[in-house]
Chain A
Amino acid sequence: MVNDVPLSWFLGLGMIMFCIGTIGVVVRRNPVVVFMCIELMLNAVNLTFLVFARYGIAPGQTLEQATNTAMGGQMAVIFVMAVAAAEVAVGLGIIMAIFRLKNEADVDDMSVLRG
């Protein structure tokens, strides 16, 4: 199962998504949107993990060895997904707690650690 899309196209897509996410994290002031931009960056990196898993295999390996090597990329993506899920749950909980305390949530105004 080989697909003839060049490596640089996939990497370009990942790069563009990562840069858009970075710009969004800095520009946006709604904490929920900032979180979404972070998710965007995580997904861009996930894409590059999967892409390098398929393209970065050393020549001279048998088919089974190559498949086993490529599996590492999928494992990284699975763990990133699990960490992202935990991060979203805790992060949104923190945003809710701040909102309940100050009745507004603006990343530029969040400057105190204790309520």
Chain B
Amino acid sequence: MTPNQIVFLVLAFIAVMASAGVVVFGANAVRSALFLVLNFFVLGFIYFTLGAQLLGITQIMVYAGAIMVLFLFVIMMLQLHHGPQLKKYQDAKRPLAWLIGLGIFCLVFTQVIQKLSMTSQSPVTDEYGTPKAVGLVLYSTYSWPFEVTSVLLLIGVVGSILLAKRRI
């Protein structure tokens, strides 16, 4: 076991535990949101180990920061009831969920992960994840999808304002 692998295992363990916490503590939405923040944060560190510094920072800022604040804001505004009332009807959803989840797990495990034997990362230049390198590619090769994304964000802004108005 090399130090890199130990670091990865620790981060992966925290990420898996946090994502399990999101589902297990789902009855209390605030707790589940805080677990999700932890998961996003750790995932940002895993991005760092992959050499994508800019994306790691963006992950922490956009996901753990902005998006989760939005979630917490809505949770605290809505006051959704939780507790025993939530067990009103426990139908076939729970076994179905396990079936779907374990089905995807088994499928991907046997068909994808076992068949891929590449074990080492390919070397890239030191500039791989820096803002300069990412920006150069983003504004040249990928400028068309970038512009389309800006239109999408504009639509998102207009749509959310429209939905938030009391009387349309």
Chain A positions within 8 Å of B, measured between CB atoms, are 1-13, 15-24, 26-30, 32-33, 35-37, 39-40, 43, 46-47, 50-51, 54-57, 63-64, 66-68, 70-71, 74-75, 77-79, 81-90, 92-97, 99-100, 104-105, 108
Contact = CB atoms under 8 A, between A and B. Distances in A.
Contacts of A5: 4-5, 8, 49, 121
A23 B99 CA distance: 9
Interface in B117-150: 118-129, 133-134, 137-138, 141-142, 145, 149
Contact of A93 (B108, B134, B159): B159
Contacts of B77: 96
A36 B137 contact: no
Contacts of B123: 1-2, 63, 66
B8 A54 contact: no
A67 B19 contact: no
A77 B55 contact: yes
A89 to B, nearest CB: 4
Range, interface on chain B? 35 or more
Given A9-B12, A27-B26, A32-B75, 7 more contacts: A3-B51, A9-B8, A11-B113, A22-B97, A37-B22, A89-B156, A96-B77
Interface in B88-120: 89, 93-94, 96-98, 100-102, 104-105, 108-109, 112-114, 116, 118-120
Given A15-B105, A84-B67, A90-B159, A43 B43 contact: yes
A90 B133 CA distance: 32
8 closest A-B pairs by CB: A86-B156, A93-B163, A26-B97, A24-B23, A23-B101, A57-B122, A93-B160, A67-B124
16 contacts: A1-B51, A19-B102, A20-B16, A20-B101, A22-B101, A36-B71, A47-B43, A63-B124, A68-B137, A71-B128, A75-B138, A75-B142, A82-B152, A85-B62, A89-B157, A99-B80
Nearest to A54: B121
* Secondary structure class of chain B's binding surface, majority of residues: helix
Contacts of A57: 122
Contacts of A74: 52, 54-55, 129, 134, 137
Nearest to B145: A79
Given A71-B133, A74-B55, A30 B12 contact: no
Given A7-B116, A55-B122, A66-B122, A85 B58 contact: no
B70 A92 contact: yes
Contacts of A90: 156, 159-160, 163
A85 B150 CA distance: 12
